[in-house]
Amino acid sequence: MDKLVIKGGKKLAGEVRVSGSKNASLPIFVATILNSGMNQISNVPFLRDINTTIKVLESLGATIEGNGNIVRIDSAGIRNHEATYELVKTMRASVLVLGPLLARFGKARVSLPGGCAIGARPINLHLKGLQALGAEINLEHGYVEAKARHLKGARVNFDISTVGGTEHLLMAAALAKGETVLENAAREPEIVDLAQMLNLMGAKIEGAGTDTIHIQGVTELSPVSYSVMPDRIEAGTFMIAAAITGGDVKIHGMKLEHLDAMVFKLQDAGVEITSHDNVVRVKAPRKIRSINIKTRPYPGFPTDMQAQFMALMCVADGASVISENIFENRFMHVSELQRFGADITIEGNSATVKGVKKLSGAPVMATDLRASASLILAGLAADNVTEISRIYHLDRGYESIEKKLAGLGADIKRIKE
């Protein structure tokens, strides 16, 4: 098992390029089930979750080949309609194959999902939506079994905004008969990216990026070539890396508008952020100011940046309050940040962070994907040496992050434990 060793205290400087989005790539890969032909997906990041998705699709009968950041997916050979527990257990997004299989073949059997242990993320809203489209669904022995002679358009009002549920229904409704209207739909850029790809296939989707999406079902979809959007969470992590180290970094390939809520908070904290010719420059102030945040569904402050922002607040001037409103178990990184000497107290879904003059390097353990990133950020800012174990979480969502940070001047190495 690998671990990261970081010698902190170096100001990051230079230029870095953002990889393609993990959270956009996964449903885009799954959407290829909806057609029968060769699809080419570019700007794909090299990640564990991508490999898991490839294994799931291959188990269904798809033929997949890769060349650099380009992946070709031939979905013509899909005949199997079951995604097993062994494949689905490690990644929650695997459950998204249910809707496309159901829409194309009229049946599917998919294991209930796994993924990061950051709190309950039930798929009841996914299943409720599929039932509204006419699916007959049974839960047996840890599997979802779904049947539908023909999916039919319907009005679906999500009880809460759900990214996975919105993506799931977008794909299933694309081949349903008649019109489907998704109300209280999630608005994330990754959903817009998926809708753009589906429309390129021949789907008729309007309103993606708003809370009401209209889908006019079509009888078939065609193979496409599509380039995945940049990873806004990776981009945000690099922005905070520049800020927490007192650095000056230029980030290529990101879309600043995807991170408006976080950008405003960083600017309030004193960070200088400018954009020119699709390059974003992040320059740290002499001292970071403490800022309160509350995570919200997009376009609010992203829960996937909460842990990283908390690391920044650990060295800010003053006290901040960080409220987590999306996942109930997403403060597992707090105990590890405290090992650096961070002053953090938790009450309910809020953490009070009192900035300290300096963090001190320590041996720590990653608990989930974004917690891993927060520990790297703390290690970059800390005195002495930090060792981060269980970084397999990190490999689910960041492509070669240690190499990219090293390119900015960080003293960071991956070694075998």
Percentage of residues in the chain having pLDDT higher than 70? 98
- Pairing mode of beta strands 155-157, 179-183: parallel
Among 334, 353, 351, 333, which residue's Cα sits nearest to residue 343?
A: 353
Give the pLDDT band of residue 304 (cuts 50, 70, 90): very high
Give the pLDDT band of residue 120 (cuts 50, 70, 90): very low
Opening angle at CA 184, ends 180 and 190, nearest 5: 85
The whole-model pTM stands at 0.95
Q: Which residues pair with 319 in a beta bridge?
A: 354
**Tokens standing for 393?**
């979480």
What helix, strand, coil percent values describe the chain, rounded to 5?
35, 30, 35
For residue 180, the 8-state DSSP code is E
Q: Which residues pair with 180 in a beta bridge?
A: 215
Is the pLDDT score of 242 beyond 60? yes
Residue 116: active-site member: yes
Give the pLDDT band of residue 113 (cuts 50, 70, 90): confident
Q: If DSSP states are collapsed to H, E and C, what string results for 76-122? A: CCCCCCEECHHHHCCCHHHHHHHHHHHHHHCEEEEECCCCCCCCCCC
Sequential DSSP letters for 129-158: HHHHTT-EEEEETTEEEEE-SS-B--EEE-
Q: Cα separations (Å) of 316 from 6, 233, 300, 312?
A: 21, 21, 22, 7
**Amino acid present at 355:** G
**Tokens standing for 24?**
């956009």
Mean pLDDT score across all residues of the chain = 95
Chain position carrying tokens 């290690």: 379
Binding residues: 22-23, 92, 304, 326
pLDDT tens readout for residues 153-192: 999 999 999 999 999 999 999 999 999 999 999 999 999 9
Q: Three-class SS of residue 70?
A: strand
What integer is the mean pLDDT of 78-89? 90
Binding residues for UDP-N-acetyl-alpha-D-glucosamine: 92, 304, 326
Is the pLDDT score of 117 beyond 50? no
- Which one from 24, 101, 116, 123 is the annotated catalytic residue? 116
Among 311, 397, 324, 417, which residue's Cα sits nearest to residue 25?
A: 397
**Tokens standing for 259?**
């991170």
What integer is the mean pLDDT of 297-323? 97
**Tokens standing for 18?**
């953002």
99 close to 172: Cβ distance less than 8 angstroms:
yes
Distance in angstroms (rounded) separating the CA atoms of residues 53 and 184 = 28
43 close to 399: Cβ distance less than 8 angstroms:
no
Q: Which domains does the chain have, with CATH numbers?
A: 2-19+230-416 (3.65.10.10), 22-227 (3.65.10.10)
252 close to 407: Cβ distance less than 8 angstroms:
no
Is the pLDDT score of 260 beyond 80? yes
In a 13 Å sphere around the CA of 24, the CA atoms on its Cβ side amount to: 30
pLDDT on residue 88: 84
186 close to 161: Cβ distance less than 8 angstroms:
yes
Is the pLDDT score of 115 beyond 50? no
For the chain, what's the residue count?
417
- Residue of higher predicted confidence among 413 and 87: 413
415 close to 3: Cβ distance less than 8 angstroms:
yes
Cα dihedral across residues 123, 126, 131, 132: positive or negative:
positive
Chain position carrying tokens 């753009």: 196
Binding residues for phosphoenolpyruvate: 22-23
Among 29, 90, 84, which residue's Cα sits nearest to residue 62?
A: 29
